[in-house]
Amino acid sequence: MSEKIDLSSYVPSEDEEFMNANQRAYFRAKLVAWRNDILREARETLDHLAEESANHPDLADRASSETDRAIELRARDRQRKLISKIDAALQRIEDGTYGYCEETGEPIGIKRLDARPIATLSIEAQERHERREKVYRDE
């Protein structure tokens, strides 16, 4: 099993056996890199917020700074939730369920996983889910 995958040279293909060792290593590396990027950005944000905690004498500057801070913290909260989805996907790789639809058990598809590595539903199941959501939301 090849644990180290060069993301620049390997491209998963529909022609290979689904979720073979190379594909699992590829998606694991992709997810870990994504997670590391998010964590790096979060550290940069915290550093920036710590630097900018100065009191602004002007009320408009202070209000603008507080608004910017709230938006930044909201974005970080969304990324925190994304990290938990990435961690869940990494766990699915470990337990052998990664790449298979939670609803149908069918393979999700390489192209969809490459575009959205945290996907848990096939395109068809996701569309059904969104249609049901829309029906309940419209009622």
- CA 30/CA 54 separation, integer angstroms: 38
Closest CA to 33 of 7, 12, 1: 7
Residue 3's identity, in one-letter code, is E
Between 55 and 32, name the one with better pLDDT: 32
Chain centre to alpha carbon of residue 113: 11
Residue-wise pLDDT tens digits, 128-137? 999 988 887 7
Note the pTM of the prediction, 2 decimals: 0.78
CATH number of 14-96: 1.20.120.910
Q: Per-residue pLDDT for 68 more than 90? A: no
CATH 1.20.120.910 in the chain, residue ranges: 14-96
